[in-house]
């Protein structure tokens, strides 16, 4: 009888723990992580809230605050739309994503900053998840990468940046998974500025692709680089200016309706220019390897 009672109490404990997780939780600049992270009793940090948030769930920012570095291990959305939500991670990484291969992570309207006596290392480190989407996220002051893809597990990884500012890091975005992992990077309406001596966008590993549109790469060590002969990139309606090398392709990089100007070298490696590009005023590399006439 005693054994049955112990098993029953253990099962009840698991059920209570599961029921304690809410689909939506809240953080506040004046919250406390001992709270249940509800609307009326918010938590103080993302790390405190994530353990009380079900998967897939949402952590919302109730009011302005610095909510601390966090490791994400499940499907989750962190959304600070409508207020000022930030992560200050001097000396460490800002947000680490290391979940299941099926997890989907969304970060919206968060400032991620490595400022301090010792700069943070990476703003966002994407180790494992099916996808990571960053909307209206500002990332600055990291001694390595603003955003890094460092996956090692087989399968595709999807990274999306929309409306993001990636500034003042050693590298902006570095897509560097280890085989057999691969990655697709998609960028829209984002700016990569003053990431040096590295590149604004660096596609390092094999079998990784990048599509960048309506975006700018300026004042970086290099604008966009594809280092592997089995990688690829396409740029549409982009400004690439005041970099060392504007665009470098170990594999073909395709440009359409882009302005490539005032770089030390405009284009290098293998590039294909479609219609309406302006490639002029660089120290060299003012012509693509191949030009394609407009349809």
* Per-residue confidence band for 293, with pLDDT thresholds at 50, 70 and 90: confident
In a domain, 170, yes or no: yes
pLDDT at position 8, please? 43
Residue among 18, 17, 22, 16 at smallest CA distance from 42: 22
Query: Rg of the chain's alpha carbons, rounded to an integer?
Result: 22
- 142 - beta bridge partners? 120
Asked if the model's pLDDT at residue 15 lies above 90, the reply is: no
Residue among 96, 209, 72, 224 at smallest CA distance from 150: 96
The tens digit of pLDDT for each residue in 62-121 reads: 999 999 999 999 999 999 999 999 999 999 999 999 999 999 999 999 999 999 999 999
The tens digit of pLDDT for each residue in 181-240 reads: 999 999 999 999 999 999 999 999 999 999 999 999 999 999 999 999 999 999 999 999
How high does pLDDT run on average in the chain? 93
Query: In CATH, what number is assigned to the domain containing residue 256?
Result: 2.160.20.10
In a domain, 1, yes or no: no
pLDDT at position 144, please? 98
Rounded alpha-carbon distances, angstroms, from residue 249 to 40, 228, 229: 53, 8, 8
In a domain, 226, yes or no: yes
In the Cβ-directed half-sphere of 289, how many Cα atoms lie within 13 Å? 13
Range of the domain at 279: 57-291
In a domain, 21, yes or no: no
In a domain, 135, yes or no: yes
How far the first Cα of the chain sits from its last, in Å, is 82
> H-helix or E-strand containing 17?
helix 2-19
* Per-residue confidence band for 122, with pLDDT thresholds at 50, 70 and 90: very high
Structural domain tally of the chain? Answer: 1
Report helix, strand or coil for 18.
helix
Alpha helices in 219-288 (DSSP H): none
| Beta strand segments in 136-219, E | 138-140, 142-149, 155-162, 165-167, 171-175, 181-188, 191-193, 199-203, 209-213, 216-218
pLDDT at position 155, please? 82
* Per-residue confidence band for 275, with pLDDT thresholds at 50, 70 and 90: confident
In a domain, 17, yes or no: no
Residues 6+ apart with CB under 8 A from 150: 125, 126, 127, 176, 177, 178
In a domain, 184, yes or no: yes
Residue 92 Cα to chain centre, angstroms: 16
Give the number of other Cβ atoms within 10 Å of residue 223's Cβ: 32
In a domain, 32, yes or no: no
Mean pLDDT of 133-141: 98
* Per-residue confidence band for 294, with pLDDT thresholds at 50, 70 and 90: low
**pLDDT above 90 covers what percent of the chain?**
89
Helix, strand, coil percent values for the chain (each to nearest 5):
10, 50, 40
Confidence (pTM): 0.92
Give the number of other Cβ atoms within 10 Å of residue 23's Cβ: 10
């Amino acid at each position: 009888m005693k054994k049955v009672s112990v098993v029953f109490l253990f099962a009840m404990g698991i059920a209570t723990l599961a029921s304690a997780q809410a689909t939506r939780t809240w953080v506040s600049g004046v919250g406390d992580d001992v709270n249940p992270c509800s609307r009326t009793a918010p938590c103080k940090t993302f790390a405190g809230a994530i353990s009380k948030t079900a998967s897939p769930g949402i952590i919302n920012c109730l009011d302005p605050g610095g909510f601390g570095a966090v490791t994400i291990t499940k499907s989750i959305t962190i959304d600070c739309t409508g207020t000022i939500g930030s992560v200050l991670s001097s000396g460490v990484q800002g947000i680490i994503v290391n979940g299941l291969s099926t997890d989907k992570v969304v970060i919206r309207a968060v400032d991620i900053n490595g400022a301090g006596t010792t700069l943070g290392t990476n703003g966002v480190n994407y180790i494992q998840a099916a996808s990571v989407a960053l909307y209206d996220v500002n990332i600055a002051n990291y001694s390595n990468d603003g955003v890094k893809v460092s996956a090692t597990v087989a399968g595709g990884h999807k990274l999306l940046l929309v409306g993001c500012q990636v500034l003042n890091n050693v590298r902006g975005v570095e897509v560097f998974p280890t085989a057999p992992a691969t990655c697709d990077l998609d960028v829209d309406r984002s700016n990569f500025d003053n990431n040096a001596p590295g590149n604004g966008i660096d596609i390092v590993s094999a079998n990784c692709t990048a599509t960048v549109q309506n975006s700018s790469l300026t004042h970086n060590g290099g604008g966009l680089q594809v280092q592997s002969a089995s990688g690829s990139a396409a740029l549409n309606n982009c400004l690439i200016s005041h970099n060392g090398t504007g665009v470098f392709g170990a594999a073909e990089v395709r440009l359409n309706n882009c302005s490539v100007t005032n770089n030390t070298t405009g284009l290098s490696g293998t590039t294909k220019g479609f219609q309406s590009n302006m490639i002029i005023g660089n120290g060299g590399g003012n012509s693509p390897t191949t030009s394609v006439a407009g349809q």
